[in-house]
Structure 1
Amino acid sequence: MSTPAAPPQPWDIAIVGAGPIGLLLAGELAADGSRVVIFEREDSPSSMPKANGVVGRAARELAQRGILAGTRLRVRTPPRFQFGPLVLNLGFGPGNPLHILPVPQSRLEELLERRATQHGADVRRGHEVIGFAQRDDSVTVDVRTGEVTSVVKARYLVGCDGAHSLVRKQAGIGFPGFTGDEISRIARVTLPADRITRRRDSFEIPGLGSIAAMRPNLLPGGAFSIAPMSVLDRAAPPDLYLVSTHEPRRDDEPSDSVSIDELRASFRRVLGVDLPITGATAIRSTVGNSRQAEAYRRGRVFLAGDAAHVFNAGGSALNVGIQDALELADRLGAALSSEGGTDGLDAYEAIRHPAGHRALQHTRAQAALGRSDDSARALREIMGGLVASRRAARSLARLIEDG
């Protein structure tokens, strides 16, 4: 008589969402010997450009873990950086507290997934988590693949599933904050060499004049930024640029798909002239949200990254989310080890929730500086004078660095 097969052992950690935060968390835990599975609803990584780099201490953390080894990616200390529309002159040398890692999010995700799978994490794409239930010693997760639904058991569940997180909603965790009244349109555009002239840190555009590169330009119709794609990807064509507009949002305006005609119309409203592009790809729009989850933990369920917080300015999302993942990996790893207990799990929220709040405050301040009303103009004038001091500029840079 054959012996019945033993039921499969539960996973140590189930992660929802294979973005950079979920992949980093999986790699950290798997490297420590934990059995980790990631469920991702989409069948393949998104081709839509998202973040263009990591800012702050998170950049150094990635380098220290060897994630950039074998690549041409390097962490840098920029002599200048933006705080909303203000330029922080940080200078060179060891006194500059800010670190950046220019890298397209798709490339970062590729590196993080490679590391996670090399350490044994199981990344399951095309698997949508549709629900879960907590028990005393585990979490059961309902997963849909095509027309088939299965149940997976894990000791802990982590939601890294973005701003609209199913995990957060089903855990009953509130997400207070606000949605902004402005809209950004972002695209990669082709600008022929005879229609744009580079002059050190600026560009000359026919009919418009000089526009600063790689930072917001405040104009009567809104804000405009432009950067050569070669800054992020050395293989990019020299006539390819990343551009964005920022302007008031109409109540009935959609915030998802954008046509090239809508993009051109936005250029006209913001710049006052037509931007002489010959083509555009990866066009998208975003509406700024500023929110933070009321809690980062409910029993055996945790939140990290955009599931826990979203910011309306300042390039802080990856920085803060990466540090969420690293802190949570340490706490979960200790709880799973034979020596570790579960008492340390509460420290995750105690440490990361205040950090998220600090980032929420300084990104809200940056967004307020970028508005086009009289109060914002007065604020920019006063703040601009203050941050002309290198000490003050570096103090703000430390806020961004710490995440």
Structure 2
Amino acid sequence: MRVSAVLLLKNLLTRLHPPAPATERESARLLAVLDHAFRKQLDAAHPPPPPEDQQQSHVPTQPSRAVNRHLESLLLHPLLETKPSRPAAHGPTLRTAVDQFDHALRTRTLTVTKLKSISRQYLVQTKSKPSAEKLGPRLAAWLEAENAQTKSTFFQSADVIHDVVPLMYADGLESTVWAWLRSLYQCEWLRVGDTASSAQTPAFLHAQDILVSEMMRMAIRRGSIQDAAAQYVAAAVYRAQSAPTEPLTSSYKRITTAILHKRHRHGIDTSTFEQVLDHAISFSRDRVVTRSFLQLYHPTSPTAETLFHELSNDSFAGPWHSWHRKHKLLHAALLNSVLDAAQLSLEQSKFKHASFFLDLAETQWPDYLGASSSCAKSTTANHTSIITSRLHRARQLLASHASIVRPQLAPT
């Protein structure tokens, strides 16, 4: 009788993979054999420890101990080790300036000093990557809800205003800053009759000046010195009426610095420029760039006549030279203006004035120009070609100094 192919295949598979026991007894017997073999192998791999004393030597070793030790060794393997999570030692991680501001509000730890660091961090973060969450509206709402003391501290902190104003402009809240200025002028949030906190006290007058100056800085930054000049004129007119003995020194320095930086390219219209001149601050009142320097850059009628008489006066020139030498960038900018005065005098055929300004430049700015011989000064004072040559040489020497080529005088 021939064996079929199916039967041959079954016999082959049976030899390779024996079938499971057919009965329950055979299954139990096979399980017992496997269990005994497993425990015997574990006892051989992990022998029990020797007895602690002779009295316990007759106690038989239980195979289950070896199993337990083996399982424990597996569980203690470094690959299976888990490190417990550690609670944050310093609270939640505050990655953004907005997070820090919100956290300070929730914990009631927000101060004007902390606001300065948060504002500076926000400006740095938004410069590299614009933030979807804006800090400006939060800051405005916080200040609106604060008491008079906090508002007074905020407005009188010049370094805080220096960082907060750019923040508000960056978040599109320029109108809010204008509202702050109006609030600072009126000080309605102060207690009625509190003379110590009056808006006309020197501290609040200085705060008004600082805020106006920072707003002018934003206008200059976006390229509109005209707007900055108009802001100065409006504030100066109001100050002349409300507190004429307290000029806007910071704001005046802001506009004069911008004009010196741009020179003939300042872009201020004639009417506004003349109003800036009308509200110029004298050098005797404060150490500032005088009106006579600004007149060099008048849009329609520049003149160096007033500057010539001013610098010819020893009582003015002595303190003035001592002052500007202490400020490197201003020192260089004023040298540029003195050379502009020489150029303007030459164009107006005032050779004596032109020679005077060149002599002054070489005498007071030897760190940039050196000094020409006295013979050349005395014998060629009215010679146009020599004056032109000296002026050209001075311009070249001035431009050769890397720190003067692009003086960083404009507010940033």
- Shorter-chain TM-score bucket reads under 0.3
TM-score by length of 1: 0.20
Higher relative contact order (CA 8 A, sep 6+): 1
Q: Which has the higher helix share?
A: 2
State the structure with more CA Rg: 2
